[in-house]
């Protein structure tokens, strides 16, 4: 439900009817339970009166924020910013409370009335409203700090005079538990509410497998508890957000890299003709500048040295000059267009394969090849490694589009979501820096353009977000961009002596003419048997095409393992995933205890000695264990204050206006409840002020990363289709 109010009207005129409905329901229910002296009735009565009181406290704050919110919009036709988002969240909180109080009113005379249950539900709504009241007070503080103007309008980003620590100290007063308990997902559309609850319960349950707190019996019991006990789930999620390191985030998000999730797109999404992984060897590329002079594109070397780079080619049709299309009877001419895609994942997780859930649909609807880049992930590969790889892959695509990708690349669109969208912007700035051909358009979904914790209203939304909690967002940011992380990685490289290690010795030298011959070699050419590129009729089997490996170029089976994940990481992550799924699927506690559990644990011990498991306090695995310290919760102001380089390639918002004015047409799709919403609004405003062709769409009711939920949410699928239309606009833009 959207709330498109006229914020210029007095509050008495704009107050939505559900505010008054909540007042009447609270009064009626409070009067009903006033004379009942049971504990549950007393608590219900007090909670209902307190809700009435907080509703009156919220009223003036809501009115003040409603007056200033329109000052920050992109334009009159696109209302949206962090201030408006919190007003919407407050309204949805009141709607949720109305539903609870109405059910209470209807059920209170029933013989099956569960008084204790409704007592907890009403108390949860009260805590939620109180927390949002505190958030609105902090929004007033943010507005009072704001003195920066952009295009004669106030900025959503707080000026440098106020440090993030000031806001972090204040946000400690917000009760985060209220957002992860009984009211979990109240701010999202109905289809996403179920998804959010499932993911949150899965996160809490997975943490019991990942961490080694308590005995195995206790952890197994907790798996079931998180499904039926919202308060326990809320405590666990907040503890995870505050204490779990970035490795936990990586391993939890790697769940969608498992076979269980990777098979779903192939089963329910459109079938595509080509779905192959290409391994690009680390060799210098030479392109022509815009003025015709040659320029050398450097091989990515930072942090990891020279390594192969994997990209995934997806196409709904076999095309002339496309890998995997040799000998195919039905083959189309080369496309004139190409989409180069960068996946999201907070710079620390996911891959092109996990994003097939929407890329397959895009490939079919657009009918053009999509090249998705599997860049290296932090913290092993902090900034600028991923940016170097994305720029290198873009240059490689320019050079080999006709001979490998089945396209003349007359038009190239860069597309990405979240962290991937940030990388596409950085790569575009690199194109301008090297004076090579820039993309013809950029599509971005929920993009962070200022990669540092600058206080803004939308950034506070992560305190309410069950899919992107505050701690997760900050640890991803710290792992990728902080100066401290980069220095630690450099020290580690120097200590291991492989900071500049080159892997080119593993690859044979292959000239461009060799690549052309290999790509176009007929499948039945017996004289070139060792260099044939196989042709595959469908995407039922994924294939990895190495351009130069062991003195030959061959097609090899993709073993369902993204090349950017090391073998050690994959083994460890798969261990967590397997144990999590095995335990999560059990339907009774009996299957989680006793001899059968011990047998399972012994099997896990043999296959994964690095992980330590316990049964009745006895270690059944190796000596290495990971613990979640829930006793000593660190203050966010202690852990999340770190230094981030003010580099335009990292934070494109900081690029000079003279550079941003050269950026090609941009389409931005973001969401009302996204912690990166203000980034999108401010960047779109800045581009518009410079005369760049830019559009901004703000969707309601969806979470950050909604593209990954297309299969389980109609609204998310509708959002994906909007993305396709915006990309099509860029392709047709003259």
The CATH number given to whatever domain includes residue 308 is 3.40.50.1820
Check whether residue 166 and residue 291 sit in a common domain: no
Question: Of 130, 128, 104, which Cα lies nearest the Cα of 40?
Answer: 104
- Give strand ranges (E) for 172-308: 274-280, 285-288, 294-297
Check whether residue 359 and residue 452 sit in a common domain: yes
In a domain, 96, yes or no: yes
Question: Of 204, 200, 216, which Cα lies nearest the Cα of 625?
Answer: 216
Are the beta carbons of 132 and 55 closer than 8 angstroms? no
In a domain, 565, yes or no: no
Note the pLDDT of residue 693.
Answer: 96
| Dihedral angle over CA of 166, 169, 173, 178, nearest 10 | 100
In a domain, 247, yes or no: no
State the total domains in the chain: 2
C-alpha–C-alpha distance, residues 218 and 629, integer Å: 16
CA 343 to chain centroid: 9
In a domain, 391, yes or no: yes
Check whether residue 305 and residue 402 sit in a common domain: yes
Strand-by-strand arrangement of the 274-280 sheet: 555-557, 543-546, 274-280, 309-315, 370-374, 335-342, 407-417, 441-445, 666-671, 694-699
Q: Is the peptide bond preceding residue 379 cis, with omega within 30 degrees of 0?
A: yes
Question: Of 482, 234, 444, which Cα lies nearest the Cα of 348?
Answer: 482
Check whether residue 263 and residue 356 sit in a common domain: yes
Query: What range defines the domain where residue 412 resides?
Result: 259-506+644-732
C-alpha–C-alpha distance, residues 357 and 360, integer Å: 6
Tell whether the torsion through CA atoms of 241, 242, 248 and 250 is positive or negative.
Answer: positive
Check whether residue 274 and residue 162 sit in a common domain: no
Note the pLDDT of residue 270.
Answer: 79
C-alpha–C-alpha distance, residues 393 and 325, integer Å: 21
Domain end (from 179, 200, 217): 179
C-alpha–C-alpha distance, residues 549 and 280, integer Å: 10
Q: State the CB neighbour count (10 A cutoff) for residue 111.
A: 4
Note the pLDDT of residue 619.
Answer: 34
Are the beta carbons of 299 and 284 closer than 8 angstroms? yes
Note the pLDDT of residue 496.
Answer: 57
In a domain, 482, yes or no: yes
Strand 618-619 vs strand 614-615: parallel, antiparallel, or unpaired? antiparallel
Domain end (from 179, 212, 241): 179
C-alpha–C-alpha distance, residues 78 and 373, integer Å: 32
Check whether residue 159 and residue 302 sit in a common domain: no
CA 420 to chain centroid: 9
Note the pLDDT of residue 241.
Answer: 87
Question: Of 677, 353, 721, 327, which Cα lies nearest the Cα of 543?
Answer: 353
> What DSSP state is assigned to residue 75?
B
- What one-character-per-residue DSSP string does 302-318 give? TTT-B--EEEEEEESS-
Question: Of 535, 536, 513, which Cα lies nearest the Cα of 523?
Answer: 535
Domain end (from 145, 179, 213): 179
Residue with tokens 């890998």: 323
Tell whether the torsion through CA atoms of 16, 21, 24 and 25 is positive or negative.
Answer: negative
Q: Which long-range contacts (CB under 8 A, 24 or more apart) does 116-121 make?
A: 116/40, 118/44, 119/40, 119/43, 119/44, 119/47, 120/182, 120/231, 121/182
Q: Is the peptide bond preceding residue 384 cis, with omega within 30 degrees of 0?
A: yes
| Dihedral angle over CA of 428, 430, 431, 434, nearest 10 | 170
Are the beta carbons of 32 and 41 closer than 8 angstroms? no
Are the beta carbons of 197 and 188 closer than 8 angstroms? no
Q: What are the φ/ψ torsions at residue 204 (nearest 5 degrees)?
A: -65, -40
Note the pLDDT of residue 221.
Answer: 67
Q: Please, which residues have CB within 8 angstroms of residue 247's CB and are 6 or more apart in sequence? A: none
Check whether residue 168 and residue 272 sit in a common domain: no
C-alpha–C-alpha distance, residues 485 and 501, integer Å: 20
In a domain, 195, yes or no: no
Check whether residue 141 and residue 32 sit in a common domain: yes
Check whether residue 287 and residue 161 sit in a common domain: no
Question: Of 85, 83, 136, 100, which Cα lies nearest the Cα of 25?
Answer: 100
Strand 407-417 vs strand 441-445: parallel, antiparallel, or unpaired? parallel
In a domain, 531, yes or no: no
CB environment 523-544: b (16+ within 10 A), e (fewer) = eeeeeeeeebbebbeebeebbb
C-alpha–C-alpha distance, residues 580 and 210, integer Å: 8
Check whether residue 289 and residue 164 sit in a common domain: no
Are the beta carbons of 733 and 674 closer than 8 angstroms? no
C-alpha–C-alpha distance, residues 134 and 57, integer Å: 10
Are the beta carbons of 85 and 672 closer than 8 angstroms? yes
Question: Of 636, 146, 686, which Cα lies nearest the Cα of 449?
Answer: 686
Q: Please, which residues have CB within 8 angstroms of residue 33's CB and are 6 or more apart in sequence? A: 41, 42, 44, 45, 48, 108
Q: Please, which residues have CB within 8 angstroms of residue 182's CB and are 6 or more apart in sequence? A: 120, 121, 124, 230, 231
In a domain, 28, yes or no: yes
Averaged in consecutive runs of 10 residues, what is the pLDDT profile of the chain (734 residues)?
Answer: 47 73 96 93 95 95 94 94 97 97 94 93 96 93 82 83 67 85 95 91 86 65 78 90 88 80 72 93 92 93 95 95 82 96 95 93 96 96 96 97 95 97 98 96 97 86 89 89 69 56 35 39 36 37 39 34 42 42 36 34 36 34 49 55 86 96 98 96 96 97 94 95 98 89
C-alpha–C-alpha distance, residues 527 and 544, integer Å: 23
Q: What are the φ/ψ torsions at residue 677 (nearest 5 degrees)?
A: -60, -45
Angle separating helix axes 594-607 and 567-585, nearest 10 degrees = 170
Check whether residue 172 and residue 273 sit in a common domain: no
Check whether residue 122 and residue 271 sit in a common domain: no
Note the pLDDT of residue 569.
Answer: 43
| Dihedral angle over CA of 511, 513, 515, 519, nearest 10 | -170
Question: Of 467, 318, 516, which Cα lies nearest the Cα of 406?
Answer: 318
Residue with tokens 């089976």: 557
Burial of residue 481, with CB atoms counted within 10 A of its CB: 0-12 exposed, 13-18 middle, 19 or more buried:
buried
Q: State the CB neighbour count (10 A cutoff) for residue 106.
A: 10
Note the pLDDT of residue 211.
Answer: 83
Note the pLDDT of residue 202.
Answer: 86
Are the beta carbons of 553 and 513 closer than 8 angstroms? no
In the chain, how many H helices and how many E strands?
23, 16
C-alpha–C-alpha distance, residues 426 and 660, integer Å: 11
* Token couple for 225: 């508890």
């Amino acid at each position: 439900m959207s709330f498109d109010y006229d914020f210029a009207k007095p509050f008495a005129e704009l107050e939505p009817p559900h505010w008054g409905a909540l007042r009447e329901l609270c009064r009626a229910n409070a009067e009903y339970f006033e004379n009942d002296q049971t504990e549950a009735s007393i608590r219900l009565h007090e909670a209902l009166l307190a809700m009435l009181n907080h509703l009156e406290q919220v009223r003036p704050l809501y009115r003040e924020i409603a007056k200033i919110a329109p000052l920050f919009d992109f334009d009159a036709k696109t209302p949206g910013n962090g201030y408006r988002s919190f007003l919407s969240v407050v309204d949805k909180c009141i709607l949720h409370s109305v539903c609870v109080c109405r059910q209470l009113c209807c059920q209170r005379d029933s013989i099956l009335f569960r008084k204790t249950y409704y007592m907890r539900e009403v108390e949860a709504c009260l805590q939620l409203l109180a927390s949002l009241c505190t958030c609105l007070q902090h929004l007033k503080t943010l507005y009072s700090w704001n003195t920066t103007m952009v295009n004669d309008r106030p900025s959503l980003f707080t000026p440098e005079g106020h440090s993030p620590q000031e806001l972090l100290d204040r946000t400690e007063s917000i009760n985060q538990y209220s957002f992860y308990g009984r009211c979990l997902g109240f701010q999202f559309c109905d289809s996403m509410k179920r998804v959010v609850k499932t993911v949150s319960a899965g996160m809490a349950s997975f943490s019991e497998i990942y961490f080694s707190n308590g005995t195995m019996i206790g952890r197994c019991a907790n798996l079931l508890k998180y499904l039926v006990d919202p308060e326990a789930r809320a405590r666990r999620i907040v503890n995870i957000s505050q204490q779990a390191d970035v490795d936990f985030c990586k391993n939890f998000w790697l769940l969608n890299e498992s076979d269980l999730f990777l098979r779903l797109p192939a089963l329910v999404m459109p079938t595509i003709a080509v779905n192959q992984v290409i391994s690009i060897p680390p060799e210098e590329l030479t392109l022509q500048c815009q003025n015709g002079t040659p320029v050398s594109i450097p091989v990515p070397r930072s942090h990891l040295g020279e390594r192969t780079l994997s990209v995934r080619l997806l196409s709904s049709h076999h095309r002339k000059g496309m890998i995997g299309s040799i000998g195919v009877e039905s083959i189309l001419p080369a496309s004139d267009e190409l989409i180069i895609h960068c996946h999201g994942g907070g710079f620390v997780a996911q891959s092109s394969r996990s994003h097939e859930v929407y890329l397959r649909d895009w490939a079919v609807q657009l009918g053009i090849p999509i090249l998705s880049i599997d860049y290296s992930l932090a913290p092993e590969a902090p900034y600028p490694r991923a940016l170097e790889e994305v720029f290198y892959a873009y240059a490689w695509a320019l050079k080999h589009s006709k001979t490998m990708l089945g396209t003349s690349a007359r038009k190239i669109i860069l597309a990405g979501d979240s962290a991937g969208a940030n990388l596409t912007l950085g790569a575009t700035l690199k194109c301008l820096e090297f004076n090579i051909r820039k993309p013809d358009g950029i599509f971005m979904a929920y993009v962070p353009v200022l990669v540092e914790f600058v206080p803004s209203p939308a950034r506070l939304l992560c305190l309410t977000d069950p899919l992107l909690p505050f701690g997760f967002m900050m640890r991803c940011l710290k792992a990728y961009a902080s100066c401290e992380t980069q220095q630690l990685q450099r020290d580690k490289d120097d200590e291991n002596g492989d900071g500049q290690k080159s892997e080119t010795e593993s690859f044979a030298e292959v000239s461009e003419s060799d690549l052309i011959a290999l790509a176009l070699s007929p499948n039945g050419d017996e004289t070139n048997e060792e260099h044939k590129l196989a042709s595959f009729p469908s995407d039922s089997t994924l294939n990895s095409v190495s351009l130069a490996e062991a003195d030959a170029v061959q097609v090899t089976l993709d073993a369902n393992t993204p090349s950017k994940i090391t073998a050690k990481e994959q083994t460890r992550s798969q261990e967590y995933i397997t144990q999590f799924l095995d335990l999560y699927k059990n339907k009774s506690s009996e299957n989680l205890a006793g001899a059968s559990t011990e047998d399972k644990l012994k099997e896990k011990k043999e296959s994964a000695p690095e992980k330590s498991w316990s049964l009745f306090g006895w270690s059944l695995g190796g000596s290495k264990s990971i613990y979640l310290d829930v006793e000593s919760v660190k203050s966010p102001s202690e852990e999340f204050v770190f230094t981030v380089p003010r580099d335009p390639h990292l934070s494109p918002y900081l690029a000079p206006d003279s550079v941003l004015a050269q950026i090609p047409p941009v389409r931005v799709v973001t969401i009302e409840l996204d912690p990166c919403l203000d980034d999108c609004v401010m960047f779109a405003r800045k581009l518009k002020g410079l005369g760049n062709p830019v559009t901004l769409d703000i969707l309601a009711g969806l979470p950050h990363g909604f593209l990954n939920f297309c299969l389980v949410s109609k609204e998310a699928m509708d959002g994906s289709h909007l993305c396709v239309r915006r990309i099509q606009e860029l392709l047709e833009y003259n």
